Structure formats: C-alpha cells, structure tokens
C-alpha cells in the first residue's frame, strides 16, 4: 500500500492501527456483505466464509481450515489458482438451492495467493421474476380491459338516415375522418353527436387506438383540469403518489371526445387552446411538457356563437375548434329519416333486449307510423329509441299500435280524439296547468338552461327561482 499521498489522519491509521485489528476490520466488512463470499488460499484451503455464503449455499463455517476440494469435489475455485482466469455467472443448482457464482484469483505482486468466490441466490431472483411475470400478466389484462372500454362502437355505416337530413353531415365526416384538424359537432341533445364522433374515429387510421369520451359538463370544473391533463407527484394534498395520468395522455395516438364543451370554464378553455396550438400538455403541478398526438372532437348542444357573444366562450378557441363543423339537425327537421330509424331500432331491440317469444318481424300500424312521424321528438333519436324499445315490449302480437306507445307522448293525441269523439272536456284546472307548463317550457327555451339563464327566465315569468324549480319538478320538465 502506497502511503505517501495519504492524509495524515488515514496514514496514522495504517501505521498505528495494529495488524490484528486490521484483519478484524476486513473480516467485518466481508461479513456484512449481502452476497455470499468464500476465500481459499494458494493451497486450496478455505480461509474465510461469510454468513450469507452459508445462507445461500448451505455450506457451514466448519469448512474453514479444510481443503475445499475434499468437501466439494466439483468445486471450480481451486482451478483458478492454476489458470488465473475469472469465471462469471456460473450457475449452480442443488435440491433446494439455486444460485450463481462469480470467481476470481487474488493476485499480489503477480503471485496467486488465493481465490475468491462470490455468489448470489437465484431463489430470490426467481421469486421476483415470477412476481414480475404475474404483474405483467395483470397489467396486460387491465390494458385489454381499458382498450375495450375505450373503443368506439359505431361506424359511419350504422348511421341511419343518410338519405334524409344527415346526408351532408355523413359526407363531411367521411371526408375529414383522417385529418388531424379538430372537429366541432353541434346539435340538440340526442341527435347523435357522440355517434358521429365514434364513427369518425372508427373511419380514421386511429381506429385501433383509444377513443376517450369526456363529458365536460359532468365533471366539476375544479377537477376537470387535472382529469384532462393529469397531475404530477405531490401536486396537491390527497394527490395520488407518483401523480396521475390525464385523459389526454390516455387518448394519445387516438381521439379525445370533449362532449358539452360549451360548459367548460373560461380559464380551462385557454389551456385547451394552448394544447390545440402546441400539441403538448403539462400535468398540473409539473413544469415539463409532454408531446401528444391526439385528435380532438368537441360537441355541444349549445349555440357557441351565442356564448361567444355573451363572453362565456372564448372566441379564439371557438374559431380554432370550428375549422370543421358538423351540424346535426334535430329529428323534427328530418322526418323522412324516422321510419328507417324505427325499423332499424326494431331489429336491434329484438337482439338487445332478447325479449322472450318476441316476434321475428314487427309491423307498425299506419296510424302509429303517422303519429310517430308527426310527433316533435324534443329528445330526438334518443327519445325515439326509448319509445320504440318500450313499444316493442308492450306489444302483445307482432303489430305495434298506438296504445303500445308511452302515454306521455300520446296523451295529447288521445285528448284530441276524446274531446272530439266523446266530448270529454278538460277541466279548467287541467287546461290552465297545461298552458302553464307549455309557457314555462317556451320561456326556458328562450333563455336557456344554466343557472344564470334560469334566474332570468324566472324573473321574466315573474316568479322566484325556487318557485320555478318547484314547477319544473311538478310538471316533470327536464331542462
Ligand atoms: N342517425 C342515427 N342512426 C342510428 N342511431 C342513432 C342516430 N342518431 C342517434 N342515434 C342513437 O341515439 C342515441 C343518442 O345518440 P348520441 O350520439 O348519444 O346523441 P347526443 O350525443 O347528440 O346526445 C344513441 O343510442 C345513438 O345510437
Ligand atoms: Mg351526448
């Protein structure tokens, strides 16, 4: 050992530390090592083994002072005294144990004075690798589950009504499916906005990637940002350790469907605009940005232009989103689609509900079809689907007649006939209630449905907001 350049403190240790203490010191080190260590001298006698070596190989310390070859005839370590070559990763297996060994000569002044063997247990490694395999399988299962959860179901072919008012929308959808440009879909509730979003995704080259729907109106606005963009480790109290991936990241390489975008808060709209421009997101509480390739399809039942005027929606975001816009007309404006929709629904409702003894082919009485084609369908295709599901359950035979439809929608129809045929006159109270109900609906249509708009509607009706809510509940008005 060259001591010339050592600091005083360490030099003293070497010169003043008694030799036997130094040996104890080295022994203690070897004993505290987490790998098994066995040392032989130049004649092949075992000079040292540490407890970990016993633990891993089962060889006990009473071997010390004995010739290794006598104990373990197959041992390779003594060969090293001769050939001076290291062995790395030698695999050993006994009944109960499995381990790998590295071996090396100990050389001083070019003389082999012994050899050292260092071993690692494989049982532990095995256990870990088994565990890892199990975790990997679980991860795969979860991934498959997530993939199937986030798959778009519909295709453009399944959109009924291509000969009617949807022709234009379907045509545009086909043309733009493979572009990366954002799409804005507008239309009343139940017109098929989500259906279109799914079909566009499935028509695009992203179809095997995730389709992630997000209802911006259903997630409290304080949470929406971290839901969309995720958050970093320790972003806030109660935040999950290691952070959380956001929906945008989940949609990477696929499509994110931002439903009810008109309800997104003004602040968050600015952040969304940045994502659209930069194609990067930043998790809440993190500074670094992550690049993403996500197609954005947004939808709303609101009049965004109106919201822009009222400064509830950012103009810059509106123009950015509105590059490609699909307007889905309400069902009452495409009555020519109604019969096609009904027949397609009857076919699928037999499959879906698998009603026992349900007829193969339903027919619809002329009167019923006329009624359904005349009805206004405020809930659009969604309402039509519910009515048809209900009617096919109620029909006793193969024919769906008007009395099989929900009373809610036929009430007026029957009233009309009854008052004509059997002169059943509505009581004054009923007539007043009906007028009141219709008047409230008309007013809400004029003002809108969010809280501020309802306040204004109540004011215009000359009643308090609480009274308005009571009446909405009493008349079952869903607005
Ligand atoms: N053109 C259509 N052809 C077939 N089914 C439709 C059509 N439009 C809507 N639907 C059905 O109506 C229901 C409501 O559609 P959805 O896309 O959720 O409407 P929105 O998102 O506009 O509220 C869904 O069950 C959908 O499958
Ligand atoms: Mg919807």
Q: Please compute the mean of the pLDDT values over residues 297-316 and round it to a whole number.
A: 95
Of 334, 69, 2, the C-alpha closest to 192 is 334
Tell me what percent of the residues of the chain surpass a pLDDT of 70. Answer: 91
Supply the residue whose CA is at minimum distance from atom 6 of ligand 1. Answer: 192
What distance in Å separates the CA atoms of residue 449 and residue 248, rounded to the nearest whole number? 29
pLDDT attached to residue 185? 97
Residue 317 neighbours by CB distance under 10 Å: 24
Choice from 158, 192, 260 to test ligand 1 binding pocket (greatest atom count within 8 A of CB):
192
Q: Would you state the pLDDT for residue 407?
A: 87
58 shares its domain with 79: yes
The 10 Å CB-count burial string (b at 16+, else e) for 207-224 is: bebbbbbbebbebeeeeb
Q: Is residue 433 part of a domain?
A: yes
- Tokens 């109290």 map to which residue? 237
In a domain, 3, yes or no: no
Q: Are residues 336 and 325 in the same domain?
A: no
Q: Please tell me whether residue 327 adopts helix, strand or coil conformation.
A: strand
Ligand 1: which atom is nearest the Cα of residue 198? 17
Q: Is residue 137 part of a domain?
A: no
Choice between 430 and 179, residue whose per-residue pLDDT is larger: 179
pLDDT, the chain, mean? 88
Predicted local confidence at residue 145, as pLDDT: 84
Q: What is the SS3 assignment for 272?
A: helix
Per-residue pLDDT band for 161 (boundaries 50, 70, 90) equals: confident
Q: pLDDT at position 208, please? A: 92
pLDDT attached to residue 446: 83
Q: Which ligand gives the minimal distance to the CA of 169?
A: 1
Ligand 1 neighbourhood includes 329 CB (under 6 angstroms) = no
Quick check: CB of 395 below 6 Å from ligand 1? no
Say if ligand 1 is within 6 A of residue 210 CB.
no
Chain centre distance of CA 44: 63
> Which CATH number do you get for residue 346?
1.10.8.60
Any atom of ligand 1 within 6 Å of the Cβ of 194? yes
- Residue 479: what pLDDT? 74
Tell me how many domains the chain contains: 4
In what helix (H) or strand (E) does residue 39 lie, and over which residues does it extend? Answer: strand 36-41
133 found inside a domain: no
Nearest ligand, CA of residue 189?
1
The whole-number pLDDT of residue 420 equals 45
Residue 177, Cβ neighbours under 10 Å: how many? Answer: 19
Instruction: Please indicate, yes or no, whether residues 323 and 346 belong to a single structural domain of this protein.
Output: no
Which atom number of ligand 1 is nearest to the Cα of residue 161? 1
CA dist 141 → 150, 206, 367 (Å): 14, 22, 52
Lowest mean pLDDT among 83-87, 278-282, 360-364, 398-402: 360-364
Print the domain residue range for 206.
150-329
Report the atom number in ligand 1 closest to the C-alpha of 384.
12
Residues 74-111 pLDDT 10s: 899 999 999 999 999 999 888 788 899 999 999 999 99
> The domain spanning residue 79 has which CATH number?
3.30.450.20
Q: Does any domain span residue 131?
A: no
Kindly state whether residues 103 and 25 are assigned to the same domain: yes
Q: What residues contact residue 72 under an 8 Å CB cut-off, 6+ apart?
A: 59
pLDDT value at position 95? 79
Regarding the beta carbon of 189 and ligand 1, being less than 6 Å apart is answered yes
Binning pLDDT at 50, 70 and 90, where does residue 230 land?
very high
My answer on whether 437 and 376 are in the same domain is no
1 falls within a domain: no
- 40 & 70 share domain: yes
Residue closest to 92 by CA, chosen among 68, 112, 122: 122
In short, whether 381's Cβ falls inside 6 Å of ligand 1 is yes
Q: What is the DSSP letter of 158?
A: G
Q: Check residues 239 and 339 and name the one with the higher pLDDT.
A: 339
Question: Is pLDDT of 360 > 80?
Answer: no
Model confidence at 3, pLDDT cuts 50, 70, 90, reads very low
Query: 157 and 33, same structural domain?
Result: no
The predicted model gives 149-163 an average pLDDT of 88
Higher local confidence (pLDDT), 350 or 246: 246
* Structure confidence by residue, pLDDT tens digits, 14-73: 666 677 777 888 888 999 998 999 999 999 999 999 999 999 998 999 999 999 999 888
pLDDT at 423 > cutoff 70: no
From 173-177, 321-325, 424-428, the region with the lowest mean pLDDT? 424-428
Do 187 and 303 fall into the same domain?
Answer: yes
Residue where one domain finishes, among candidates 376, 395, 421:
421
Q: What is the mean pLDDT of residues 159-173?
A: 86
192 lines ligand 1 (CB under 6 A): yes
Query: What's the pLDDT score for residue 35?
Result: 92
Of ligand 1's listed atoms, the one at least distance from the Cα of 191 is 22
Domain boundary, last residue among 308, 329, 350: 329
pLDDT reading at 13 higher than 80: no
382 and 438 together in one domain: no
Counting ligands in written order, which one lies closest to the CA of residue 342? 1
Q: For residue range 315-348, what is the model confidence (pLDDT) as tens digits?
A: 999 999 999 999 999 999 999 999 999 999 988 7
Residue 33's closest CA among 46, 13, 52, 16?
Answer: 52
Asked if 384 and 440 sit in the same domain, the reply is: no
344 & 204 share domain = no
Distance (Å, whole) CA 221 – CA 214: 13
- Residue of 173, 185, 186, 190 with the most ligand 1 atoms within 8 Å of its CB, for mutation: 190
Predicted local distance difference test score (pLDDT) of residue 18: 72
Q: Is residue 207 part of a domain?
A: yes
Same domain, 278 and 156: yes
- pLDDT, tens only, 250-279: 999 999 999 999 999 999 999 999 999 999
* Ligand 2 centroid from CA 193, angstroms: 6
Whichever domain contains 179, its CATH number is: 3.40.50.300
Highest mean pLDDT among 84-98, 273-287, 400-414: 273-287
Ligand 1 proximity of 382 Cβ (cutoff 6 Å): yes
Three-state SS at 407: helix
Q: What one-character DSSP code corresponds to residue 13?
A: H
| pLDDT tens string 376-393 | 999 999 999 999 988 988
Domain end residue (candidates: 306, 329, 352): 329
- What residues does the ion ligand 2 have nearby, CB within 5 Å? 194
With respect to residue 101, please indicate whether it lies within any of the assigned structural domains. Answer: yes
């Amino acid at each position: 050992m060259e001591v010339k350049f050592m600091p005083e403190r360490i030099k003293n240790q070497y010169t003043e530390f008694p030799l036997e203490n130094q040996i104890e010191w080295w022994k203690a080190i070897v004993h505290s090592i987490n790998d098994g260590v066995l040392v032989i001298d130049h004649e092949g006698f075992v000079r040292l083994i540490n407890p970990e070596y016993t633990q891993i190989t089962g060889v006990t310390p009473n071997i010390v002072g004995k010739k290794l070859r006598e104990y373990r005839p197959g041992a390779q370590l003594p060969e090293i005294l001769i050939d001076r070559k290291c062995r790395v990763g030698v695999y050993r297996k006994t009944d109960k144990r499995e381990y790998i060994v590295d071996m090396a000569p100990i050389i001083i002044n070019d003389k082999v004075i012994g050899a050292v063997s260092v071993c690692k247990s494989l049982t532990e490694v095995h256990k870990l690798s088994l565990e890892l395999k199990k975790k990997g399988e679980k991860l795969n299962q979860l991934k498959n589950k997530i993939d199937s959860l986030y798959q778009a179901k519909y295709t453009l072919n399944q959109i009924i009504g291509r000969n009617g008012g949807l022709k234009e929308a379907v045509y545009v959808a086909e043309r733009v499916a493979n572009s990366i440009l954002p799409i804005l879909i507008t239309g009343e509730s139940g017109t098929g906005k989500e259906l279109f979003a799914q079909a566009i995704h499935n028509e695009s080259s992203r179809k095997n990637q995730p389709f992630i729907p997000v209802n911006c109106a259903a997630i409290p606005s304080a949470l929406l940002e971290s839901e969309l963009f995720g958050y970093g480790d320790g972003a806030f109290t109660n935040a999950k350790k290691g952070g959380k991936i956001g929906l945008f990241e989940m949609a990477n390489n696929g499509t994110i469907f931002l439903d009810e975008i008109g309800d997104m808060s003004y602040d968050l709209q600015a952040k969304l605009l940045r994502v659209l421009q930069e194609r990067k997101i930043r998790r809440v509480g993190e500074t670094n940005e992550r690049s993403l390739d996500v197609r954005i399809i947004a939808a709303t039942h609101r009049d965004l232009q109106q919201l822009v005027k009222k400064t509830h929606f950012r103009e810059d975001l509106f123009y950015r989103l509105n590059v490609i816009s699909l307007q889905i007309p309400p069902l009452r404006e495409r009555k020519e689609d109604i019969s096609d929709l009904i027949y397609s629904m009857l076919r699928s409702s037999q499959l879906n509900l698998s009603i026992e003894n349900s007829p193969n082919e339903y027919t619809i009485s002329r009167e019923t079809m006329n009624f359904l084609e005349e009805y206004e369908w405020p809930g659009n295709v969604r309402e039509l689907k519910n009515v048809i599901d209900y009617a096919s359950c109620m029909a006793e035979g193969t024919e769906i007649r008007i009395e099989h439809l929900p009373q809610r929608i036929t009430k007026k129809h029957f009233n009309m006939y009854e008052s004509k045929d059997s002169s059943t006159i509505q009581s004054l109270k009923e007539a007043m209630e009906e007028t009141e109900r219709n008047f409230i609906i008309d007013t809400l249509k004029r003002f809108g449905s969010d809280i501020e708009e309802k306040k204004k509607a109540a004011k215009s009706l000359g009643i308090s907001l609480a009274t308005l809510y009571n009446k909405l509940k009493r008349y079952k008005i869903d607005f």
